[in-house]
């Protein structure tokens, strides 16, 4: 799960069209990096979920770190630097969709609390 850092300030400072451009650009960046069997979904206003079936959490964390870095280096016309915070959770047999999302969400908020523009992952 990822959340665009300080997205409200992007909308407030640059307008909602700029915010929409940020969302679209980040979605394109992620879609260009994931496999066809993976799934990217917008989860809420500025949150996205990426499902990586069959991917161990350590490999997912490597991909997510690459995504985090590429997002932070994007040049989006009319917008300052954009960053995102990520939570990477692994599926366990006792997980439901809700518990898996909750684990990823909690980890993402840990990343936010750690200063943003970083990832937190389950072990």
CB of 111 closer than 8 Å to CB of 85: yes
Catalytic residues: 46
Distance between alpha carbon 34 and the CA centroid of its chain, in Å?
13
* Tokens, residue 92: 């366990």
53 contact partners, CB below 8 Å, separation of at least 6: 37, 38
* Tokens, residue 72: 């932070």
Sign, CA torsion 121/31/67/38: positive
* Tokens, residue 4: 């665009």
């Amino acid at each position: 799960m990822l959340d665009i850092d300080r997205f409200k300030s992007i909308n407030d400072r640059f307008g909602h069209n700029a915010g929409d451009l940020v969302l679209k650009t980040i979605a394109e960046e992620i879609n260009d990096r994931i496999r066809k069997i993976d799934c990217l979904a917008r989860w809420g206003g500025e949150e996205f979920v990426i499902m990586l079936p069959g991917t161990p959490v350590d490999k997912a964390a490597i991909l997510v770190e690459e995504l985090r870095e590429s997002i932070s280096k994007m040049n989006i016309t009319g917008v300052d630097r954009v960053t995102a915070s990520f939570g990477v959770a692994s599926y366990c047999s006792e997980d439901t969709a809700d518990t898996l999302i909750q684990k990823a969400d909690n980890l993402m908020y840990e990343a936010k609390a750690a200063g943003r523009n970083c990832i937190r992952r389950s072990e």
